[in-house]
Amino acid sequence: MAPLRVLCIHGYRQNATSFREKTGALRKLLKKHVELVYVSAPLSVQQANTEGVADKQNDPAPESGGDEDPRGWWFSDIKARSFNAQQQCEESLGLDESVTAVREAVKDQGPFDGILGFSQGAAFVAMLCSIQEQKLEPTFDFRFAIIVAGFRSACTQHQKFYNSPIQVPSLHVFGLEDRVIPDKMSRELLPSFQDPQVLIHPGGHFVPAASAHRQTYQDFLKRFQ
């Protein structure tokens, strides 16, 4: 059986290379079943501040913290060209370029069976599923989504993505000790999906891949093999 091909969407201040490193345990866990392919966001982020460094000490795979060439999928603060998941904003910057980057990745490296996102990348994956459902991007044909530490964007401009429940089958993964995206924020995204599957782990802000999680991932992926 050919492995499922999954496009991987990294977190804010990460890139394809750093996210690949941080998901090594997941690749090992699912290696017979899944091929993970990574893409970098088009927006360059100014180097992490001390807050990001502090975050790095608390988590095995933080979203923010000194990655070389940090990248993002959109900015919630247009002037500062920065992002905060809890920042209310009318408009964002860069989302269209990011959709284009995913379209190019699908054309150049696809086809893909599914899509996986982490943190800002997970919130972006929910938007991409909505775009696919509204038939706004003919190249998008993801059969499933894995959303790790996802959330609903607080940007007014993005509320159109949550108008009707997304039919794409989804697995939502979040940690009870996540301080970057508290589990409450991940739970608020669930009603945006029809019949969301859930994997809750006791840890923080990272992609969990312990042997205890293998069965949940495999049961979810089995439907698409």
158 tagged catalytic: no
Set 64, 92, 119, 153: catalytic member: 119
Q: Strand, coil or helix: what is 177? A: coil
178 tagged catalytic: yes
Across the 225 residues of the chain, what is the mean pLDDT of every consecutive 10-residue run?
Answer: 94 96 94 94 78 38 60 93 91 93 96 97 97 93 98 93 94 97 96 96 96 94 93
Query: What is the per-residue pLDDT for 67?
Result: 61
Query: What is the per-residue pLDDT for 56?
Result: 39
- Cβ(74)–Cβ(84) below 8 Å: no
Set 40, 178, 192, 201: catalytic member: 178
Cα→Cα distances 143→35, 169, 208, Å: 15, 7, 22
Cα→Cα distances 1→4, 32, 116, 222, Å: 9, 9, 21, 11
pTM more than 0.85? yes
> For 116, left (φ over 0), alpha (ψ -120 to 50), or beta?
beta
Residue range 4-44+68-223 in CATH 3.40.920.10: no
* Residue 154, Cβ density class (10 Å: 0-12 exposed, 13-18 middle, ≥19 buried): middle
Q: Strand, coil or helix: what is 105? A: helix
How far is 137 from 198, CA to CA, in rounded Å?
A: 27
